[in-house]
Chain A
Amino acid sequence: MILTPGTVCRLVLLVIFTVVIQVSGIESIPLLGGTIDLIPLVVGAVALWGGSIAGAAVGFSCGLLLDFIVGQDVGASSLVLTGVGYFVGRYGEVNEPANALLPIPVGAATTAAYLIGTTIVSLMLSFDASLSILAFRDMFLTIFLNTLVALPVFALVRKIIRPVLTRDPLDRRRKRAAPIESGPIGLRGLGL
């Protein structure tokens, strides 16, 4: 990702927009008894397209803003989302995946990692917390709903950050191979 003031501005707006839309909009729309959680999807998308550093930074910012706005334990969400963003980014850097359907498993894995991480941190911070069936049901529904909306969310994030990307894995896939030259063997490559 090319780091310019424009890039920072773009990412800051994306973070604010995501967190505010999530806590004040999406969270009040129940679907099948659960709700979509945009935050891990956006962090996962930025990390996959932008790399581990961008993923970790956006994860940290989203988590911190979420903790501040909703009045949660400051630092808890940012800790989890930093890790999630970093490791999704590393996966993208190492494998350079070019499959257009990749956002589906990555979205599901990112959401699962975020929810499990949040659960572990909450259990560690609360004195007498316990895991209930409701928590499991919520987790499952959120992962399911996030998997359904992963493709459009990843596509939207890619569209927003594409101008500042140093490499775009999907573009590589779409590049057509050079035409095969034909003609007598001795004359190939001479442009005749």
Chain B
Amino acid sequence: MYDKKVVRRRRAVLGVLVAVSLGLLTVYFGENGGGILHSFQNGTSAVFSPLEKGVSIVFKPVSNFTHWTGDVFHAKKENKQLKQQVQQLQTELAQSQTAERDAAELRSLVGLPRTSNFAAGDKLVTARVISRSPTVWYSNVVINAGSGSGVHIDDPVIAAGGLAGKVTSLTGGEAIVTLITDESSAVSAEVMPDGSNGIVRPEVGNPNDMLLDYVDKGANIHKGDSVVTSGFTSSKLDSLFPRGIPIGKVTKVSPSEVEQYQRVHMRPYADLRRMNYVQVLTGNAQDQRAQVVK
């Protein structure tokens, strides 16, 4: 047990493996998205994609069953909440219909063309989540749609309820989606109905809480207000996300005495940790890049 050769070999193996891990981390953080490790990551992801799809399909009935069981337990509580929500939405619908009629009249007065939030060439590609990280610290998921389905890098991804993230890496049959809860994420947003603008940033390690930063101190924001993508445009660069995609609901407003801006906490509408299906909005980002190049 105390043979020096064995002890030396054991320690050498540990040392080499730890050194390789640290080396890989250093290289990964030092290189850009097209670096060797990132490319190898894409390649590995593509190689294992068929296996992941197969396993995902095999486990789907079990997954559906556990979700169904959970849903049954929560159904009663959810039913009560939904009834309250329906009442609230009915009121909001009435207000929206009135506002839309007013807007249509005003639009016709100034001769503005009626446009939807999404650009004309945009298409929604539905995809299934085939892999996700086991811890709360990483905010990537792998979906089973890639460039073969018309998906591009930077395409916005929408889950049930609201914005989920954007495509950051791509192969022919799958794509890695970086969620809005990732530390690299920043989404320009506006608060409804106030219309104040800000940047939605994540609280890393807490996917249920996000920060809406750079909101003017005087903005009249309340708990329960909706936050949607603002889809800003400028002469140099346009937002990747089209205007009006719901992001989340305001949970807390903390005005600071010292700072110029107020910090607004919000909870994302989409259940980013349990989503199984997403939609990729294709076309928008590519068009915008083309505009920037021009």
Whether the Cβ atoms of A132 and B203 lie closer than 8 Å is yes
The stretch of A4-12, A16-24, A147-155, A171-179 that contacts the partner chain:
A16-24
A28 in complex: contacting residue of B59, B137, B204, CB < 8 Å:
B59
> Please, which residue of chain B has its CB at the minimum distance from the CB of A73?
B28
Main secondary structure of the interface of B (DSSP, over half): helix
CA gap between A128 and B35 in the complex, in Å: 25
Quick check: B136 and A20 within 8 Å, CB to CB?
no
B133 interface contact, C-beta 8 A:
yes
User: Judging by beta carbons under 8 Å apart, are A57 and B13 in contact?
Assistant: yes
CA distance A56 to B11 in the complex (A): 10
Complex: how many Å from CA A128 to CA B142?
Answer: 24
Instruction: Flag if B140 contacts A72 (CB, 8 Å).
Output: yes
Answer whether residue B67 sits at the interface, using C-beta atoms and an 8 A cutoff.
Answer: yes
Which chain B residues border A70 with CB–CB below 8 Å?
131-133, 138, 140, 142
Closest B residue to A142 using CB positions: B134
Which chain B residue has the least Cβ–Cβ distance from A54? B13
Chain B residues near A134 (CB-CB < 8 A): 136, 206-208
Q: Are A79 and B25 in contact (CB under 8 A)?
A: yes
Whole-angstrom distance between the Cβ of B67 and the nearest chain A Cβ: 7
Interface residues of B in 51-76 (CB under 8 A from A): 51-53, 55-56, 58-60, 62-63, 66-67, 70
A63 touches B21 (CB 8 A): yes
Number of residues from A at the complex interface, CB < 8 A: 59
Q: Does A99 contact B (CB under 8 A)?
A: no
In the complex formed, the residue of A with least CB distance to B183 is: A126
- The closest CB in chain B to the CB of A114 belongs to B135
A82/B17 in contact, CB under 8 A: yes
- CB atoms of A75 and B59 under 8 A apart: no
B205 at the interface (CB under 8 A from A): yes
For window 89-130 of A, CB contacts with B under 8 Å fall at 93-94, 115, 118-119, 122-123, 125-130
Cβ B18 vs Cβ A83 within 8 A: yes
Number of B residues with CB within 8 Å of any CB on chain A: 62
Question: Is the C-beta of B14 less than 8 angstroms from some C-beta in chain A?
Answer: yes
**A134 vs B24: C-alpha distance in the bound complex, in angstroms?**
29
What residue in chain A is nearest B44 (Cβ atoms)?
A68
- B168 surroundings in chain A (CB, below 8 A): 71
Chain B residues contacting A65 (CB-CB under 8 Å) are 44
B45 close to A (CB within 8 Å): yes
Give Cα A28 to B136, complex, Å. 14
Task: Choose among B22, B45, B70, B130 the residue that contacts A79 (Cβ–Cβ < 8 A).
Answer: B22
Are B14 and A86 in contact (CB-based, < 8 A)?
yes
B52 adjacent to A20 (CB under 8 Å): yes
Instruction: Check B18 against A82 for contact (C-beta < 8 Å).
Output: yes
Q: Report the nearest B residue to A129, measured CB to CB.
A: B204
**In the bound complex, what is the Cα–Cα distance between A66 and B205 (angstroms)?**
19
Minimum CB–CB distance from B145 to chain A (whole Å) comes to 15
B160 in the interface (beta carbon within 8 A) = no
Q: Would you list which residues of chain B between 257 and 287 have a CB under 8 Å from chain A?
A: 274, 276
Which A residue sits closest to B70, measured CB to CB?
A30
Q: Which A41-74 residues have C-beta < 8 A from chain B?
A: 52-53, 56-57, 60, 63-74
Interface flag for A143 (CB, 8 Å): no
In the complex, the answer to whether A74 meets B169 with C-beta atoms within 8 Å is no
Interface residues of B in 127-181 (CB under 8 A from A): 129-138, 140, 142, 168-169, 176, 178
B205 is contacted by which of A30, A64, A73, A130 (Cβ under 8 Å)? A130
Measured CB to CB, the residues of A under 8 A from B are 16, 20-31, 35, 37, 39, 52-53, 56-57, 60, 63-76, 78-79, 82-83, 86, 93-94, 115, 118-119, 122-123, 125-135, 138
B interface list, Cβ under 8 A from A: 1, 9-10, 13-14, 17-18, 20-29, 37, 40-41, 44-45, 48, 51-53, 55-56, 58-60, 62-63, 66-67, 70, 129-138, 140, 142, 168-169, 176, 178, 183, 203-209, 274, 276
- Between A and B, 16 residue pairs with Cβ closer than 8 Å are A20-B52, A24-B51, A29-B59, A63-B21, A68-B41, A70-B142, A71-B178, A73-B28, A73-B138, A75-B26, A76-B21, A79-B18, A79-B25, A82-B18, A93-B1, A138-B135
Add 20 more A-B contacts to A70-B138, A72-B133, A130-B204 (CB < 8 A): A22-B134, A23-B132, A23-B134, A24-B56, A25-B58, A60-B17, A68-B44, A69-B142, A71-B45, A73-B29, A74-B41, A78-B17, A78-B20, A79-B22, A122-B204, A127-B204, A129-B204, A132-B208, A135-B205, A135-B206
